[in-house]
Amino acid sequence: MMLKILFFAQTRELVGVEQLELEGDFSTAESVREHLAMQGGKWALALAKGKLLVAINQTLCPLESAVKSGDEIAFFPPVTGG
């Protein structure tokens, strides 16, 4: 399974990359988040549970949403209004 992972806003600033290709056996966006956060350090901080929104193929989804090979998964912080 190959996924395209995108990072936006503060999440991108923290991890230091805009996008990456990820190969592995992932069932949900949450399993992808957990895998990336396990790298520790800035990854764990940027991808902390509860501080993240996810879009799959440009559609906002719950983290528990299923993913399939070829999907584009974007992680970004919740937008704060003001």
Which structure tokens are listed for 15?
């991890």
Averages of pLDDT over each 10 residues, the chain, 82 residues: 96 96 97 96 93 95 97 89 58
3-state secondary structure of 26: coil
pLDDT score, position 80:
60
Of the options 3.40.50.300, 3.40.50.150, 3.20.20.70, 3.10.20.30, the CATH number for the domain spanning 2-76: 3.10.20.30
pLDDT of residue 50: 85
What was the pLDDT predicted at 81? 58
Distance in angstroms (rounded) separating the CA atoms of residues 67 and 29: 6
Record the tokens describing residue 49, joined without a space.
Answer: 């549970």
Q: What confidence score (pLDDT) does residue 51 get? A: 80
